[in-house]
Structure 1
Amino acid sequence: MTKRKITFIVNPISGNRKQKDIEISLNRSLNKEIFDFEIIYTTHKGHATELAALAYMNSALVVAVGGDGTINEVSKMLIGKDVPLGIIPTGSGNGFARHWGISRNMDKAIQVINNFNIVRSDTASLNEKLFITTSGCGFDAHIAALFDKSAKRGFITYAKLVLKEFLRYKSLNYFITIDNIEYKKNAFLITVANCSQFGNNAYISPMAISNDGILNITMLKPFPLTAAPGIIFKLFTKQLHKSKFVETFQGKKIQIEHESENAHIDGEAISPGKKLTILVHHHSLNIIVP
């Protein structure tokens, strides 16, 4: 029987894992009776996309080993292709993997690959830039921009930035069009979600389904400081949409005009300008899931 080739594209600085961990786990847990594999390590931002462009042409599966940023980079070359995406989550947030129920335990994630169960997932784009989990503007985009400039990475650094900036950040005015219906809003943040969470089980859009051809919009309105603990509790217990400070919408095409230059895609800071067009791309990515 001809073995199927898997290419593992590994971000070596994602999370706290060591390079040898993936090699040890693959040799221990991957079904080598049916799979051959190659491991390639990224060396710079955007490198995973370059590697995936070559890998998908001679692989039965391309696996992103890293966080949502690495998955985003690999996915860019698999959109609309028959070759599926596999995921071994080693990042700090792992929103996409958590949404699909892929374990952060490396051996369990590899077992998902062995089972080779393929589903078709939606993806989305902001001003033609791909995202797989969430995009948005407002406070989370402000934090993403600061985090991008930070010398230190990881959840603790991110949490410190949130606490530091929370009291000084001011809500912004937005003009929003959702499937040709117009709104004028003042908001602390606006998130457009393909997946239910940012990562770390922070469920910004708990009702989001990643293969229904619809994007979910969560708008957090200005709120008093005393309401913050309740909002945070709801964020981590899948109840944020029940808060009186939250409005939710659904749509396929979302246009946003805002006062800031900052936005984010999958938690990565971008500066796309003050006019945003966000589109869903239905069933555009084949992925391996439990």
Structure 2
Amino acid sequence: FRRAMAVLGECGLDVCHPCRLTRADDLPRQIESALAQGIRLIIIGGGDGTLNAAVNLLAGHDVVLGVLPLGTANDFARAVGIPLTLEAACRTVVQGRVARVDLGRVNDRYFLSTVSIGFTAHAARRVLPWAKRYLGRGGYLLASARAFLGYRGFHARVHLDGRPLAYDALELVIGNGRFHSGGHLLAPDASLHSGRLVCYAFEGLSRWQLLKMALIVYRGRHIYHRQAHFATAGEIQIEAEPSQPVLVDGDRRGRTPVRATVIPGGLAVVAPATGE
């Protein structure tokens, strides 16, 4: 926090309402206070889950989001092109440009990057708080190993703008941005500027197929695999049998069914001065 404040100051930005949060429950009060004061640039330091919580408070307000990527995955920052080092991200906040990016909405919640259904969501339920804090991505790998032993796929009914599809799936991902799971490419045509959501399904039911999926996704080869299916839509509806936990921008948010839509240009964010 102190380093970020120092770098922002060195870049010429006078932060008028700095606040270091020790509890997630304090975020709504601080953002509501900033909005009441008419602050137009709100800088959030944290990971995808923290950004998601902030955006669900900021959506619909005439404000600009500045991002300091301090989390484990930082998928939204990657998609916007924000540098992952603190000093460079601070400079982007001060020297960058305001860009409009798409905002997703799933059921009653906004999302920035992804909605995950299947193995990733099951593994996230097993992430121990201490492991996430001290091991970072290693904490997720540990949880994935624990989830692997008892996991089987599910039957999914998917509607893409009303067009019905069905899969026996290990994983389903609805993507707004270009990346998921810590910088892995979601799909070749995924973009925060397309006005469309991407639906990615990896077919399979067995643990052997699950292990194969994990290795393929880790290497970024899933976009070429015959068991991986990609499509884009403005509205995506998913039902699962049995019902599956849902992960929204890395945090657990209920269970299926889900309905996801996209709000083109729904969020203003500070992006690097050069780029899309």
Please classify the TM superposition score into its range, dividing by the shorter chain length. Answer: 0.7 to 0.9
Offset of residue 228 of structure 1 = 6.7
Alignment of 1:119-158 (within 5 A): 119-147=99-127, 150-153=129-132, 154-158=136-140
Q: Does 1:188 align with 2:167?
A: no
Task: State the 1:167 CA deviation.
Answer: 4.2
Q: Distance in 2 between matches of 1:68 and 1:179?
A: 27
Gap regions ≥5 residues in structure 1: 1-18
Show the counterpart of 2:62. Answer: 82
User: Partner residue of 2:85?
Assistant: 105
**Match of 2:21, as an amino acid?**
T
Change (3 A) 1:226 1:185: closer
Residue 155 (structure 1) shift: 1.2
Structure 1 residue 266 corresponds to structure 2 residue 249: yes
The aligned length equals: 267
User: Normalising by structure 2, what TM-score?
Assistant: 0.88
For residues 190-228 of structure 1, give each alpha carbon's deviation from its aligned partner in whole angstroms, at most 9, with x where no partner exists.
000001212422223343101211000110111777777
Distance 1:193 1:44 in 2: 28
SS of 1:212's equivalent in the other structure is coil
Q: What percent of counterpart residues are identical?
A: 21
Residue 276 in structure 1 maps to residue 258 in structure 2: yes
Q: Are residue 253 (structure 1) and residue 232 (structure 2) matched? A: no
Deviation at 1:25, TM superposition (A): 2.7
Superposition deviation, residue 245 in structure 1: 1.6
Q: Could you report, residue by residue, the CA deviation over 1:151-170 in whole angstroms, capped at 9, with x for unpaired residues?
A: 43121111111123224310
Displacement after TM superposition at 1:105 (Å): 1.3
- Alpha-carbon RMSD: 2.2
| CA positional deviation for 1:80 | 2.8
Do 1:67 and 1:91's aligned partners in 2 also have CA atoms closer than 8 Å? yes
Give a deviation string over 1:257-288, Cα, whole Å, max 9, x none.
1122411100101224x321111111111000
Between the aligned partners of 2:216 and 2:12, the Cα distance in structure 1 is 41
Counterpart of 1:72 in structure 2 is 52
1:167-182 to structure 2, matched below 5 A, reads 167-182=149-164
Q: TM-score, normalised by structure 1?
A: 0.84
Counterpart for residue 12 of structure 2: 31
The answer for unaligned runs of 5 or more in structure 2 is none
Give the counterpart letter for 2:253 in structure 1. I
Query: What secondary structure does 1:75 align onto?
Result: helix
